[in-house]
Structure 1
Amino acid sequence: MSSLMKGTAILTVGLFLSKVLGLIYVFPFYAIVGEENMVLYQYAYIPYSIMLSIAISGIPLAVSKFVAKYNAMGDYETGRRLLRSSTKLMLLSGLISFLFLYAMSTPIAHLVISDKKQVFTVEEVADVIKWVSFALIVVPFMSLLRGFFQGYGHYLPTSVSQLIEQIARIIILLGGSFIVVFLLDGDVTTAINFAVFAAFIGAFGGLFVLSYYWKKLKPEFDLKLQQGITPAEKVPLSDLYQEILKYSVPIVFVGLSNPLFQAVDMITFNRTMISIGLAEVTDTYFSMLNFLTHKIVIIPVMLATGFSAALIPTITEYYTLGKYNALRHAMDKTYQVLLFVTVPAVVGIMILSPYIYHVLYEESKMGSAVLAHYAPVAILFALFAVTASLLQGIDYQKWIVFSLLSGVLTKLVLNIPLIKWLQVDGAILATAIGYGVTISINIYVIHKALDYQSIMVRRRVLLIFILTGLMAASVVLAIALLNTFLSPHTKLMAAVYCIVGVSVGAGVYGLISFRIGLAQKLLGARATKIAQKLGFK
């Protein structure tokens, strides 16, 4: 059990560090290429993310599950057969994904660019999609190797390779774009082409790490293969692939959720904005919506789902063993922890949006407004991630496909009329409604399957909102006091406003939470120790 917890911790830390790096690089990259050019980068990454999710999502988990299953029976040969066969399949999958995205680059670009007043041409958007598509050749094969290592209980190769892949990508991305723009005085579009191609180079960095671990661990794998049993009857690979697909398809859809919603914006936002006479600003606004502010909004989602994810394996165990009372208690805690972390973070971002946007990017009324209006959607992002995990935990994963497609269809139907009415806010509202539909279906299925109703959660949610209101009032008061003798019109002063606002908000919310015992009840022993040090019982 301790080795399992250690492995989970290694994977979680590696994934978290990789995601943090994936947020941090945006800010210096923005400084290099400028606001209006960031959208070109996003035009490439939305279709790339969709193809990548289709090509690999679920494969590492599915492969690790079946390798571990047969290893536990002493049948190491079946796992090796699966690796040999899947290697060819993943290489083929990567090649097909690459060729498809490369060939579709111009049609996709035509969906995005429909007016000469836009910042970029069809050719420029098509080029950047072509450059990013090369990464698809390598990544599926890499995901297969990670799954194989995990099946043997080796989690470090996955964690280290993810981290090195991200570090290599960011170094090449920032270094290459800096050299092109500042040292070679080159065109910004060339820099962005190079930046998206960095995903391909980074993938080779991850693959190098995995090859190192393969050489290191292969003697162990070979020894177990020699010592293992010879199965009386070989399991047909077609049966294994059927099971893998059944297991991984819902995970594919979880990975696709955000890219699909962003893809709806990508194919409808610009055309709708152009139709109402806003062609000159549509690219910049799209970048603010689906890239610049999204990178900030996703931070509380990472925190909340990180806390909640630890409870998901417990929920799966309780469901499998039929311990439904314990299961409902764990679900109560999951929802509460999620909202306890997310709600105050979202409200804090909304209040401090002018200063956060200024510090990370530049002073912009439009940018800060988009951030403030988009921030509440983070609660829905977190709820979707957790409810989808709960559905997987109770073996109702097929509903994830239905609920997500329902939400995306809702977004697609509402996006154009709402953008015509509210511009950027219309796209945000359509996303919120779409996710709301998806989450409502997920919650309905979970509650119906488990006969789950909780008055306690409702009371705690109300309490969390009251505490958040007190926190918000304290932050607004602190900002008002700062305004009497300071001005936030430089990055340094905006940073001061952020630091003061976050410190006051976290202090008020944290102290009240500890004082009434809510933090201790939700966050466990560690929070209790902190409360004791602060003098609270």
Structure 2
Amino acid sequence: MSNIIRGTMLLTGASFLSKLLGMLYVIPFNALVGAEGGTLYAYAYTPYSIFISLSTVGIPLAVSKFVSKYNSLGDYETGMRMFKAGSALMLGTGIIAFLIMFLGADWLAHWMIKGDEADVTAEDVAFVTRMVSVALIIIPSMSIVRGFFQGHNSMGPTAISQVVEQIVRIAFILIGAYIILQVLGGSVVTAVGFSTFAAFIGALGSCVVLAFYWKKRKPFLDKQVAEQRYTYDLQTRDLFKELFRYAGPFVLVGLAIPLYQFIDQFTFEPAMLTSGRQDIWVEAYSVINMYGHKIVIIPMTIATGLSLAMLPSLTKSFTNKNEQMVTKQINQALQIILVLVIPASVGIAILADEAYGSLFGMENIELTGTLLAWYAPIALLFALFTVTSGILQGIDQQNYAVFSLVVGLLAKVLLNSQLIQMFGAKGAIFGTAIAASIAVILNFWRIKTAIDFRFKQTIKRTMLIGIFTLIMCVVVWILKGIMGIFIPYEESRWAATAMLAVGAIGGGFVYLALAYSSTLLERIFGGRIPLVGRFLRR
């Protein structure tokens, strides 16, 4: 396989494992804190995600692009100088972001929570917001190290540090919540507060891993600088000028999902109360922006890993004016997303009741399962937006990625309250779907016009993916009909778990068999797939 695929698989594997752990831990977390705790957690974590992006100002990914560019030109010293200057900048912005979020927690909470709902109050939201803000002190500086390694096409440090960070964070969340609730008899609010503080503890674990890699690879990096023959010798002012030109678009693109959720935080509760749905708003919100979101976001990790791994290679090809390679890499990036995310998101939709019921219980499954089914296809839109934005950044069209995001967000702001009042909780999902669709369409148009890119190959293979996905759906529906004769999977949690396993394995096997036997997987991934070929034969 090509270097882009190796890097993609490494980052995607780490991201997938992190997201899988992030989904699995919410099962016991839900059992401990319930819908109230999930909603409270989401209210604190969404602004935290936004502050993380703002405090880094998109620097880590921009550093990846910057270092990759100057390495391809043989100037390693300029990349090293940027890393040192960027690290100092990140330390300062992280501290500033912490102070703003910590001191502004009360104001932010009272702005978001308008009603008199007893389960989730503005004071509770302010407390958990202050607890999570501490992580802002170190995460920006930590993340720039990841960007530097990625600029050297070294994805291992990022991948391993992500997994370690997630494991440490989850362990602290579950152990801390259990001790507070079951041993000390504390409140759900206190347990959720310490759960958000786990972001800081997880970041410390990641820093240890990155420090190990830095010490190990520092001699090689120093050797590269010592042996280079030419340097552009840019002034620090010029370094930051070029970096911020890259970084501005990164910050907004990385904020896409948190910003959609942030709009929900300000519009969801008031719109649900106005439409007389105050009795279900807490549980519905926990599905869309916490528990259900954890399930839906897993397929999108493919897009995240691909976008991060693709950018340095695509930037290098574009800088070297290798048009054939640019076209090949864009086609490959889009098709990997489509071949994996389409069947995954559709599968979640048709097994939504079973997925949510087996993980979080069958109580009120008519509401929770339905919301998950509607939300599942959003994963494809998020994935396409992430990757198309990465492509635009790789071909030096990053400003247009900002434009498409802003247009989509504007649509979400204008329509969200009305859609929620008309359709209930599903309205928030519809608002996100409309916004993300607009952004994706605009990105596709810009890619086509900027480099005269042709989508013919991608469209043809997408049609084949759609046919295989339809066959997969038919198989799953048949399995559900047969299993329904023997087990009550619509009523019992254990039966829902059994149905989920049978449906996911059966449907997934059929889809992979069709994609492999038709050589679709090999054509998209650029070579044989040993793991799949070991179980399937043509």
TM norm. shorter chain > 0.5: yes
Deviation of the 1:75 alpha carbon: 7.2
Contact 1:520 1:528 in 2 (8 A): no
**Kept after mapping to 2: 8 A contact 1:472/1:505:** yes
Partner Cα separation in structure 1 for residue 212 and residue 335 of structure 2: 43
Q: Distance in 1 between matches of 2:527 and 2:314?
A: 20
Residues 76 and 228 of structure 1 are in contact (CA less than 8 Å); yes or no, is this contact kept in structure 2? no
1:121 aligns with 2:121: yes
More displaced stretch, 441-450 vs 366-375: 441-450
Q: CA separation of 1:525/1:267 partners in 2, compared to 1, >3 Å: closer, same or farther? A: same
Per-residue CA distance 1:270-326 (angstroms, 9 max, x = gap): 111111122232122111111111111112222356568766666545544545456
Letter in 2 for 1:522: I
Residue segments in structure 2 that go unaligned for 5+ positions in a row: none
Cα distance per residue 1:329-376 (max 9 Å; x no partner): 554444333222222222211111111001111112211000001111
Residue identity in the other structure for 1:271: P
Does residue 251 in structure 1 map to residue 215 in structure 2? no
Q: Which residue in 2 is equivalent to 1:291?
A: 290
The 3-state SS of whatever aligns with 1:525 is: coil
Distance in 2 (alpha carbons) for counterparts of 1:513 and 1:209: 38
How much has 1:452 moved relative to structure 2? Answer: 3.3
Determine if the alignment matches structure 1 residue 203 to structure 2 residue 203: yes
* Bigger Cα displacement from structure 2, 336-345 vs 180-189: 336-345
TM-score (norm 2): 0.89
Determine if contact 1:98/1:134 at 8 Å carries over to the other structure.
yes
CA distance in 2, matches of 1:375, 1:462: 20
Residue of structure 1 equivalent to 2:445 = 444
Q: What are the Cα deviations for residues 33-79 of structure 1, in whole angstroms up to 9, with x where unaligned? A: 11222110000000000000111253233335555667788877666
Task: Say what the alpha-carbon RMSD is for the aligned residues.
Answer: 3.2
Structure-2 change in CA distance of 1:494 and 1:416 (3 Å): same
Cα drift, residue 264 of structure 1: 0.6
Are 1:118 and 1:280, in contact at CA under 8 Å, matched by a contact in 2? no
Residue 139 of structure 2 is aligned to residue 139 of structure 1: yes
Change (3 A) 1:96 1:351: same
Match of 1:194 in 2: 194
Amino acid of the residue matched to residue 289 of structure 1? Answer: I
> Partners in 2 of 1:297 and 1:472 — Cα distance?
18
Contact 1:304 1:341 in 2 (8 A): no
* Closer/same/farther in 2, CA of residues 338 and 308 from structure 1, 3 Å limit: farther
Paired amino acid for 2:492: T
Distance 1:470 1:154, change over 3 A: closer
1:34 partner SS: helix
The size of the alignment, in residue pairs, is 535
1:414 aligned to 2:407?
A: no
Relative contact order, higher structure (CA 8 A, sep 6+) = 2
C-alpha change, 1:438 and 1:135, in structure 2 (3 Å) is: same
What aligned pairs does 1:116-515 form with structure 2 within 5 A after superposition? Answer: 116-148=116-148, 156-215=156-215, 227=226, 235-303=234-302, 306=305, 315-316=314-315, 318-324=317-323, 327-328=326-327, 330-363=329-362, 364-488=365-489, 489-515=491-517
Q: Distance in 2 between matches of 1:175 and 1:375?
A: 30
Offset, 1:193: 0.6
> 1:89 corresponds to which residue?
89
Tell me the CA shift for residue 401 of structure 1.
Answer: 0.6
Bigger mean CA deviation after superposition, 391-400 or 66-75 = 66-75
Change (3 A) 1:205 1:325: closer
In the TM superposition, residue 467 of structure 1 has moved relative to its aligned partner by 2.4
Residues 197-255 of structure 1, C-alpha deviation per residue, up to 9 Å, x if partnerless? 11112222222333444555556666777x56899996321111111111122221221
- With normalisation by structure 1, the TM-score equals 0.89
Give the Cα separation in 2 of the matches to 1:21 and 1:471: 26
The answer on whether the counterparts of 2:357 and 2:496 sit within 8 Å (CA) in structure 1 is yes
Q: What is the distance in 2 between the residues matched to 1:404 and 1:157?
A: 30
Change (3 A) 1:158 1:522: closer
CA contact (8 A) 1:305 1:338 kept: no
Are the equivalent residues in 2 in contact too, given 1:29–1:174 (CA < 8 A)? yes
CA gap 1:150/1:455 in 2 versus in 1, 3 angstroms = closer
In structure 2, what is the Cα distance between the partners aligned to 1:445 and 1:80?
Answer: 33
Look up the equivalent residue of 2:429 and give its one-letter code: I
> Quick check: 2:151–2:312 contact (8 Å CA) kept in 1?
no
2:287–2:368 Cα contact (<8 Å) kept: yes
Distance 1:323 1:65 in 2: 17
Counterpart CA distance in 2 for 1:155 and 1:532 is 26
Do the aligned partners of 1:75 and 1:228 also contact (CA within 8 Å) in 2? Answer: no
What amino acid does structure 2 have at the position aligned with 1:184?
Answer: L
* Cα deviation digits, residues 401-454 of structure 1 (max 9, x gap): 100011001000000111110011111111100011111111111111233344
Q: Distance in 2 between matches of 1:97 and 1:467?
A: 47
Q: Which moved more, 1:213-222 or 1:485-494?
A: 213-222
| Partner secondary structure for residue 31 of structure 1 | helix
Contact kept, 8 Å, 1:388 with 1:400, in 2: the verdict is: yes
Q: Kindly indicate whether the alpha-carbon contact (under 8 Å) linking 1:14 and 1:163 is maintained by their aligned counterparts in 2.
A: yes
Q: Residue 389 of structure 2 aligns to which amino acid in structure 1?
A: A
The offset of 1:490, in angstroms, is 2.8
* C-alpha distance 78-334 of structure 1, shift in aligned 2 (>3 A): closer
Separation of aligned partners in 2, 1:73 and 1:528: 35
Which residue is equivalent to 2:527?
525
Letter aligned with residue 96 of structure 2: I
> Could you say if the C-alpha distance between residues 16 and 222 of structure 1 is closer, same or farther in structure 2, counting changes exceeding 3 Å?
same
Equivalence map 1:105-116=2 (5 Å): 105-116=105-116
**Distance in 2 separating the partners of 1:21 and 1:142:** 21
SS of residue paired to 2:361: coil
Q: Take 2:218 and 2:310, find their aligned partners in 1: how far apart are those partners? A: 34
Corresponding residue for residue 20 of structure 1: 20
Q: Distance in 2 between matches of 1:160 and 1:376?
A: 29
The AA in structure 2 aligned to 1:355 is E
Pair 1:5–1:358, CA change in 2 (3 A): closer
1:116 alignment partner, SS class: coil
- Residues of 2 paired with 1:509 and 1:11: CA distance? 24
CA shift in 2, pair 1:147/1:278, >3 Å = same
